[in-house]
Amino acid sequence: MKKAITVLTLSINTLAFGQFPNDAQETISINNISAAIRTNGSLFQDDLSPGFEVPQNSGTHTFYSGSIWIGGLSSNGTTHTAAVTYAQESMQDFWAGPISDSTHYVAADTSWNRLWKVTKQDISTHIWNYWQSNYTIPEVILNWPAHGDTNKGQAPNLAPFADTNGNGIYEPNLGDYPKIKGDEAVYFILNDDRLPHTGSNGEKMRIEIHGMVYGFACFGTESLENTLFVDYSIYNRSQQTYTETSVGFFSDLDLGGYSDDFIGSDVQRSTYYVYNGDSIDTPIGGSQAYSGVPPAQGITFLSGTLQNSDGIDNAIGFGPGESTNGSGYGDGIIDNEVRGLDHFMYFTQSGASCCTSPTNAIEYNNYLHGYWKNGEQLTFGGTGIYGQFESNYMYPGTTDSLLFGTQGVDPNYVDSRGWCEEAENNSPHDRRGIGSTGSFTFEPGDVQELTIAFVFAKSDTGNQHSSVALMQQYIDEVRDMYNADTTPCGSGVFSSVKPSENEVRQSLTIYPNPTSSVLNIQGINENSPYQIFDITGKLIISGSLSQESVQVSNLTTGLYFINIEGQSQRFIKK
């Protein structure tokens, strides 16, 4: 399959890559993984080659391509989809940049055809040096896409940033900086509105997607060393309400040699994954195989889409409005339920016509909702076709102990391994599939957020199932860290970085900043005690506010911190 794609598209794309204004690429490589991200919505495809290398510099890969899918119905019943499978110019549903007025989509405009790669160290250096005359602000921080051009119909607020003076304007020269997660992040903005959809062949949705791929350099914590994360924020910038909307992540999974793979799902872990079909990974067609014990690669939905409000606290279970792998269920809080992995569909490049790659909007939408592309419901057992009862997941093994995927029907496993590829005596081959979350009603102005973890594991001993067990252990560790918003290398690393359109600013406001003599203060009670520290943390001045200002003319030039009523702000004495 991989050689077929190369031969088919080479003549089309030889000139396109590097020239078509939708093909910029960046690589994230903060830990054991090196992965390619593109501006056309494709993840992990490096031009026409696999782009998720793990370990770094090994030449071995687990993905050929990955991408986000979304589909829903408009008020007249029309199917709208935005989805890509591969980074091909001839098959596009997404384009770089935010939603704009149609008159401002210019084919030659490459200003948005880029990604923003920034590290925690870049930001730390900026925070401590932005005010110094000999400091040059890094290009990625200087040109962080914090704001859109409202004169072109773009949203005023785009990429998240720390607003140090609370004025709502991104000013890196005054100390503002990008808000990222992890130790390295790549940020991108996509829209499905610029041109007709040639990937899914569906009607436009007029959605805007903000994505952040990030990882941690938390050495000694193997689960984080072998995991990348992606956050998607999906905005409905249209005037349409979409019903029965679902969001999914497509994966063409190539575990080293791509022709000997199996695929499965882990319901309780909200995960689908690829593993080797036997104990030896076999190279094919130029792909480099893994030596020793073959690894496993998981795609885990840490946080899916927000469930429609219904005025109740939905329970953990398999009934309508319930879930066993989401969050917020049965916690006593109304309408905070977030879905997990609701469906997993596996399909093939060739074979039965019901179960091959989708070619139109209805077929893409069917896969997103747990149906074969011909509209038949996925069923439990065999190849998932025409079984005895419905199922939400292909090849879950025995991981669905609460019977969520079968709506309470006990499958009474004949084989102790449950429903899996080995138990069905399948032949290992090339594997791909789509995991999805939803459905929900997508109103104009709404935003849905999604967090996915890509977890790799390779056992030193045993066989391919040992790597699956290690992957499950890593997933559990990653989820615990995500839920606690902490890692062994720091806290607050998974918290939301996306400010709302009406973000509440800090109550402490100081101006002018920089200042040469007087620092004016707003939002603080009169006679409040204050302290001023220098950059080393040494206390320089303390007292009580007799008025809404502090005299700082006697301070030497430099960076200082003022603390009042538990709040702190930086200022520069010039």
Q: How much is the pTM?
A: 0.86
pLDDT score at 498: 41
Residue 535: Cβ-neighbour burial (10 angstroms; 0-12, 13-18, 19+): exposed
> Per residue of the chain (574 residues), what is the pLDDT tens digit?
454 443 333 322 323 333 446 789 999 999 999 999 999 999 998 877 889 999 999 999 999 999 999 999 999 999 999 998 887 777 899 999 999 998 888 766 778 999 999 999 999 999 989 988 899 999 999 999 999 999 999 999 999 999 988 889 999 999 999 999 999 999 999 999 999 999 999 999 999 999 999 999 999 999 999 999 999 999 999 999 999 999 999 999 999 998 899 999 999 999 999 999 999 999 987 789 999 999 999 999 999 999 999 999 999 999 999 999 999 999 999 999 999 999 999 988 777 888 899 999 999 999 999 999 999 999 999 999 988 899 999 999 999 999 999 999 999 998 999 999 999 999 999 999 999 999 999 999 999 999 999 999 999 999 999 999 999 999 999 999 999 999 998 767 887 444 333 333 345 778 888 889 998 887 777 778 888 888 767 889 988 887 788 999 999 988 888 888 767 778 888 8
Q: Which domains does the chain carry?
A: 2-131+179-304+339-491 (no CATH), 509-573 (2.60.40.10)
Name the phi and psi angles at 452, rounded to 5: -125, 140
Report the distance separating Cα 237 and Cα 231, nearest Å. Answer: 19
User: How far apart are the C-alpha atoms of 137 and 116, rounded to whole Å?
Assistant: 14
Q: How far apart are CA 163 and CA 254, in angstroms?
A: 42
Per the CB < 8 A criterion, the answer to whether 66 and 182 are in contact is: no
- What pLDDT score was predicted for residue 509? 78
Contact at 8 Å (CB) between 161 and 178? yes
Q: Name the β-bridge partners of 447.
A: 235
**Cα gap 549→562, rounded to integer Å:** 12
* Residue closest to 235 by CA, chosen among 198, 189, 197: 189
Residue 166 φ/ψ region, left for φ over 0, alpha for ψ in the -120 to 50 degree band, beta for the rest: left
Could you list the beta-strand ranges (E) of 396-474.
Answer: 431-442, 447-457
Report the run of H or E that residue 480 belongs to, with start and end.
helix 464-484
- Point out which residues pair with 265 in neighbouring strands: 272
Residue whose C-alpha is closest to residue 22's, from 86, 96, 128: 96
How far apart (Å, rounded) are the C-alpha atoms in residues 118 and 234? 22
**The tokens 């138990």 sit on which residue?**
423
Pairing of strands 34-38, 25-28: antiparallel
Helix segments in 290-334, DSSP class H? none
Q: Give pLDDT, residue 21.
A: 61
